Structure 1
Amino acid sequence: MASNKILVIDDTTVVRVKVREMLPPGNFEVIEAKDGLEGYNLILKEKVSLIMLDFLLPKMSGWEVFQNIQAQPELRKIPLVIMSGRKEEVTEKLIEPFEYFEFLGKPFDQKQLIGAIKSAMVKSKIPRPDLITPPVTPANQQATPVITAVNTVDSSAEINLLNDKVVKMQVEIDSLKKQLNQIVTFIKQKIK
């Protein structure tokens, strides 16, 4: 019997089958969910070793599933690979670098899949601040309130990490501005 259960949450049958076929035989049991709500219920019901989560899903979006996972300390420990054909959909909600989960762009090959799984397993071991946010529910259900708590011991380290991210983002912004100016200059030259 397989020692590792991998939950693949994707509304595309081809992707779910592709993941199953690319994994080494005998090592993994693949469980599939075709929408976010079904996937989240399986996360709660099954003891999974890894979650592969599409970001755009029916019934409950990948973003909502992600938020629910993050709201529960036991679920946050499960290695997570977020999949999407458009990385910008993910980076609109989650800022890079992705510290606690791995991103896998679609389409992907076996080497990329195995690499993402290995990386997600490493990232899931990184200690995190004890920040609890309320779980997100689909629009037709009532949310149950959850107490929000912040561990103040980790606050200074978290502030330093955020400051480092701000510096990196500013460098990226400056680089993008420079590229934009070059494009504008090029276009002006072509118009003349």
Structure 2
Amino acid sequence: MGLFDKIKALFGGEAQAQTQPPAPPEQEPLQPEPGVAERRKRARVNAREGTKVLIIDDSKTIVVALKKFLRSAGYETLEAFDAESGLALMQEQRPELVFLDIVLPGMNGFAALRTIRRDPQLRDIPVIMMSGNEQAMEQFFGTRIGADDFMKKPFSRYEIFFRIERLLDENLVPRRVIAKADQPTPTAPAP
């Protein structure tokens, strides 16, 4: 059903009756996604006050929304609208967390992430990749080039803070999630 049909149905039009049969009465109401109800029952855990977060996205709407949510929770934000500017800002201001869009003008998010992970000064900064493109999401999971998490657009306030909370250490500082394959293997002492 198109948007116009939905609007007509809301205002008493016959569009919904013609295009969509009523749901059977025995159908159960939609349940919230698993974990949401439990998450809402407990207090959110934020990073410590003043945590510096860099947002790299070419959409002003996304940047403004993320900035608003983060600042309302006491985070400091930095913004860049392309990867090159974001990388330069990372060198100058060293954020503690980065939200990085995949589809950007010029250098894309994957190339930017590779640059971050190869730079000894930046490689330990956690990065949450973002995209509204299904193919980009599949490519992200296929390449596994070092992102710490992934967030699909559009996103909710809950999802933003859920992703951040998963990266916090005991001191409420965002930390990289290091895969076991990336950790050095301890060597056994020689007999």
Place the TM-score, normalised by the shorter chain, in its bin: 0.5 to 0.7
The match for 1:85 is 132
User: Is 2:50 the partner of 1:16?
Assistant: no
Residue of structure 2 in register with 1:162 after alignment: none
8 Å Cα contact 2:102/2:110 also seen in 1: yes
TM-score by length of structure 2 reads 0.60
Q: When you count helix as a share of all residues, which structure comes out higher?
A: 1
Correspondence for 2:83: 36
Amino acid at match of 1:126: I
Q: CA RMSD in A?
A: 3.0
Give the partner amino acid of 1:79. Answer: P
Is contact 1:81-1:120 (8 Å) kept?
Answer: no
How far 1:59 sits from its partner (Å)? 2.0
Q: Aligned ranges for residues 37-186 of structure 1 at < 5 Å? A: 37-95=84-142, 101-121=148-168, 124-126=176-178, 154=185
Quote the Cα distance in structure 1 between the aligned partners of 2:122 and 2:180. Answer: 13
- How far 1:88 sits from its partner (Å)? 2.9
Q: Is the 8 A contact 1:102 1:119 kept in 2?
A: no
Match of 1:58, SS state, is coil
Report how many residues are paired: 134
Task: Tell me how far apart the structure 2 counterparts of residues 106 and 21 of structure 1 sit (CA, whole Å).
Answer: 16
Q: Write the distance in 2 (CA, Å) between the matches of 1:154 and 1:90.
A: 30
Quickly say closer, same or farther: Cα 1:33–1:99, change in 2 above 3 A: closer
Higher mean C-alpha displacement, 71-80 vs 104-113: 71-80
Aligned-residue offset at 1:77: 1.2
- The Cα shift of 1:29 comes to 1.1
| CA gap 1:97/1:120 in 2 versus in 1, 3 angstroms | farther
In 2: Cα distance, 1:38 partner to 1:98 partner:
21
Matched to 1:124, the amino acid is: R
With 93-102 and 6-15 compared, the bigger mean Cα shift is at 93-102
Change (3 A) 1:49 1:30: same
Shift of 1:86: 2.0
Distance in 1, Cα, partners of 2:146 & 2:111? 19
Deviation string 1:101-154 (CA, Å, 9 cap, x unpaired) is 110000001000101122244661536767xxxxxxxxxxxxxxxxxxxx9x54
Q: CA, structure 1 residues 120+96, in 2 after alignment: closer, same or farther (shift >3 Å)?
A: farther
1:29-71 Cα deviation digits (max 9, x unpaired): 1111011111111111112011000001012111110000111
SS at match of 1:76: coil
Which of these two proteins has the greater Rg computed from alpha carbons? 2
Structure 1, unmatched stretches of 5+, are: 131-150, 156-192
